[in-house]
């Protein structure tokens, strides 16, 4: 979840009037995109809650701010502007009251991603949000462990976790997050992140650096958000101050040629979320999104959904947008899928197996 730095505008997600630059024979079909094995690297636990999942939670906890019928909830979810998005996000967060609710969110996401042929997800969890509700670390961890096992067994989706600090809550949130990550980590914890409002970070820079230093020493990957709401300086801090191995968003990198050169040389992955960037007001409209420029610069880009139901998107839809709006052909979409696999925390044999599946789907479509 993010906060725009300028007035939010309604997203324009219709395809551009320009036809695809790729030959018609290589234009991706809906069938090709559906068949493409996918990896999701940037999606938030609360923001991933689909209508069926939230209805289950609302019925479990009557009297919440979440509407109790499907029609009302779908209307409530319809994106209007950022303040309304924040209201929806908080209302969903308020019905996550027990460890069982956390598990329901995780398995609900696994169900939704399985329908999109997504095989693996690195889910961003904010332990501080559960800490403030009085949920014990051990109970949260047990819920995440159970949900990861159920996601694999019932939906065929391998679940991994990233614990992220909500940056606007500063040093206390950093301390709680790293303590949970080190003292009571779920089995599938692979990374340590930093999200929230980027403009607040300078006041807590040292606390964040200390937390990331401890997490990295424990073997967790550094996977912070940066360069979404602020300029390249935030990305530089993520790289130099937090030891980032992958950057969430990173779209402002294009404002700094030296940073672009560094990202190209190091092949540091960027988790790009086009629809999210439009909805939160960071990009004027989808046709103006910098993803094509990032690819032209030779950067390591992955496609992701961020808070999909709340932004009326899916991981599959992000691939469709890349084809319809940005004119990417089948080979380019397959390369984005490979980038996500290689940027993931999967072990090398699992990566190789998924890449081989992607290549098989691409060959079958040629």
Instruction: State how far the Cα of 77 lies from the Cα of 22, in Å rounded to an integer.
Output: 35
Which letter, b or e, does each residue of 135-167 get, where b requires 16 or more Cβ atoms within 10 Å of its Cβ? bebeebbbbbbbbbebbeeebebbbbbbbbbbb
Residue 272 pairs with which residues in a beta bridge?
303
What does the alpha-carbon distance between residue 324 and residue 20 come to, in Å, rounded to a whole number?
7
100 given a catalytic annotation: no
Q: How far apart are CA 80 and CA 72, in angstroms?
A: 15
Name the percent of the chain in helix, strand, coil, to the closest 5.
55, 10, 30
Q: Which of 228, 245, 320, 324 is flagged as catalytic?
A: 228
In total, the chain counts a number of residues equal to: 366
- Nearest 5°: the CA angle 347, 38, 95 is 95
Q: What are phi and psi of 189, to 5 degrees?
A: -70, 125
Alpha carbon distance 301, 264 (integer Å) = 10
Listed in order, strand segments (DSSP E) in 32-154 are 38-44, 118-125
Catalytic residue set = 228
């Amino acid at each position: 979840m993010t906060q725009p730095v300028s007035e939010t505008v309604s997203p324009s997600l219709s395809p551009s009037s320009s036809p695809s630059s790729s030959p018609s024979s290589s234009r991706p079909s809906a069938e090709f995109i559906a068949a493409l094995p996918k990896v999701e690297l940037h999606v938030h636990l609360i923001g991933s809650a689909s209508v069926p999942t939230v209805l289950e939670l609302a019925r479990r906890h009557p009297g919440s701010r979440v509407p109790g019928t499907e029609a009302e909830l779908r209307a409530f979810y319809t994106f209007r502007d950022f303040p309304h998005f924040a209201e929806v996000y908080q209302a969903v967060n308020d019905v996550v009251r027990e460890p069982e609710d956390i598990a329901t969110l995780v398995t609900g996401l696994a169900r939704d991603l399985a329908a999109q042929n997504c095989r693996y997800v690195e889910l961003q969890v904010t332990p501080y949000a559960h800490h403030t509700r009085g949920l014990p670390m051990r109970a949260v961890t047990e819920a995440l462990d159970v949900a990861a096992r159920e996601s694999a067994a019932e939906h065929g989706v391998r679940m991994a976790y990233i614990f992220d600090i909500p940056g606007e809550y500063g040093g206390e949130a950093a301390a709680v997050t790293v303590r949970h990550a080190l003292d009571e980590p779920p089995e599938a914890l692979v990374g340590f992140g930093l999200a929230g409002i980027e403009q607040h970070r300078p006041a807590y820079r040292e606390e964040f650096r200390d937390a990331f230093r401890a997490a990295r020493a424990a073997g967790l990957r550094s996977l912070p958000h940066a360069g979404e709401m602020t300029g390249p300086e935030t990305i530089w801090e993520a790289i130099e101050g937090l030891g980032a191995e992958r950057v969430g968003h990173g779209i402002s990198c294009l404002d700094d040629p030296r940073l672009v050169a560094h990202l190209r040389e190091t092949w540091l992955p960027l988790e790009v979320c086009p629809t999210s960037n439009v909805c939160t007001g960071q990009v004027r409209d989808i046709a103006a999104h910098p993803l094509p420029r990032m690819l032209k610069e030779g950067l390591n880009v992955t496609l992701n959904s961020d808070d999909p139901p709340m932004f009326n998107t899916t991981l599959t839809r992000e691939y469709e947008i890349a084809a319809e709006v940005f004119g990417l052909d089948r080979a380019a979409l397959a390369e984005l899928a490979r980038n996500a696999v290689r940027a993931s925390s999967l072990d090398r044999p699992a990566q190789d197996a998924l890449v081989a599946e992607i290549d098989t789907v691409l060959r079958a479509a040629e």
